[in-house]
Structure 1
């Protein structure tokens, strides 16, 4: 049975900004996701203003099974072509995708391109919407030519399983409860520019969140170095504060800048150590741990304003033994 409509519409959907991308999530789970999702499921009677514009409405009500979707990065580049495989869904398991609330979902069969394809001009516009129907004849022609060219097995391949919805952390460890409460109080204020002003700097985030979290987990001040050898925060298992005694390092980015892109910078600082160290990247609120013994694979994660059960792994790691 054909999965592509006889005359499909062509859509583009954003893969996230360069500092906080999530294309890998789309491809791994066979989904297309947009936000804001914390406002709850879209319904016809709900107003666009509840979802920061008409993106969610069009995604939920105008996109159809069999339409073609291009996974966009930037203003003229795509990394995958897909075919819509489900009606609109609201999936709670995507409430924290690199810090984004992306619960509005469609199942999509994706075909990742061997390498990103860039059109000759800004075919998606100078400021592309997070999801929109494509009107450019050049792009539509490319999309239709792609889906009508072999191989086409991907168009009928089984969809990958969705991740299980992770339960919230029901019992926040007492030692970090004050830091967590402060994050939950301040983050909504930070994002209200009318009340707060500019977002806090990296140094503010270190002072208000990173250092209090480390102190609450048992690290004394003499074992926590700030701006040590260009590293934002270095944590030492013992004195003196020299490379061989460094337990792990923390690279801090501004709120909303995207912590996942900070790993490369931290690894660059570690080259002078001679031996690798684990890396924690954070914006003060979200913390992601990369293991040096596992080729710097991500092994633990916690979001102080959206704590899940698995966050315990990160807190256990950060705790001083």
Structure 2
């Protein structure tokens, strides 16, 4: 029996709740996935927070004839744009609060041989009940560009614009693939915004004079992209004409923590209907409620341009897919 430590993302893209909810641990990256393949039934896994806290401890178990795999779960292939396909099943024991400790490392997944960590893991396993896992997200279907453009034409997009959109989607996929093939820190939010997001907006029919880049929002900051119903001539004259706020992030950043930032911008624009958080090829869209005028905590729809789906792979029950996002992005 071996002991392992594992991280569920970083501070900016933590997904430990997915580990615990579904009774699973998963990783991305070639070397990390190779390590995951060596994990055996009965091994003990320590889920860490940073290098000083234990979030949970679990034992690797078999379900439906499998205890681990590399691929085979669609929802892990598109975890907000990341492929985290190396996985194992774990019966997690979750303390009421994280346990402070020492000796954990920065590694995503690594063997543990420190006596005090092993003793702490054994203590948690012996004293904390196993958390019952929930069902994993159901499978979603891919949507090809013809289906997307046909749906947008039915929605009101001009056929000529649909042709431009098809070309733009192909170019964005090629460039995003290039960005993902090099160190991710090189593609910051400015590159994602300039070379991936703005070309999509132009292809959907937005005029340059109706978009404002890094719009100064007094008391809040600068909104990365604000889309208006008419040409922008000045902030004081146009706040009631803003329809979409878009927050862009670099490839190495998660999309979850950007939502609150975008919502603070949108609060200054009472007629803003949609908030978008994107890394240039993945888009989380939040639509304002018609009743209480608030934005939901969970995304309304999700689009991965590199792999468009009918529904959001991480929450297909509650969240719409690619076509819904593109419809929200069409100029009003």
Structure 2 match to 1:13: 6
Q: What is the CA distance between 1:233 and its match in structure 2?
A: 0.5
Structure 2 match to 1:46: none
Structure 2 match to 1:65: 41
Q: Is the 8 A contact 2:9 2:15 kept in 1?
A: yes
CA separation of 1:75 and 1:291: change in aligned 2, threshold 3 A? farther
Structure 2 match to 1:91: 72
SS in 1 for 2:87: strand
CA separation of 1:98 and 1:136: change in aligned 2, threshold 3 A? farther
1:124 aligns with 2:113: no
Separation of aligned partners in 2, 1:296 and 1:317 = 17
**Gaps in structure 2 of 5+ consecutive residues:** 150-161, 217-221, 290-294, 311-320
Q: Is the 8 A contact 2:245 2:272 kept in 1?
A: no
Q: Is the 8 A contact 2:210 2:227 kept in 1?
A: yes
- Deviation digits for residues 23-74 of structure 1 (CA, Å, limit 9, x no counterpart): 22222322111123xxxxxxxxxxxxxx2x3x3333223x222322122232
SS in 1 for 2:286: strand
Q: What is the CA distance between 1:283 and its match in structure 2?
A: 1.5
Q: What is the CA distance between 1:161 and its match in structure 2?
A: 1.8
Q: Is the 8 A contact 1:29 1:163 kept in 2?
A: no
Structure 2 match to 1:185: 174
Number of equivalent positions:
287
1:31 aligns with 2:13: no
Structure 1 match to 2:196: 209
**Gaps in structure 1 of 5+ consecutive residues:** 1-7, 37-50
Structure 1 match to 2:284: 288
Separation of aligned partners in 2, 1:129 and 1:12 = 8
Structure 1 match to 2:57: 81
Separation of aligned partners in 1, 2:244 and 2:55 = 34
SS in 2 for 1:148: helix
Provide the TM-score with structure 1 as the length reference.
0.79
Structure 1 match to 2:325: 314
- Deviation digits for residues 114-138 of structure 1 (CA, Å, limit 9, x no counterpart): 333332x3x122xx32212211222
Separation of aligned partners in 2, 1:18 and 1:179 = 33
Question: Alignment partner for residue 135 of structure 2, among 149, 161, 169?
Answer: 161
Separation of aligned partners in 2, 1:92 and 1:279 = 29
CA separation of 1:59 and 1:206: change in aligned 2, threshold 3 A? closer
Root-mean-square deviation over aligned CA pairs: 2.6
Q: Is the 8 A contact 2:46 2:58 kept in 1?
A: yes
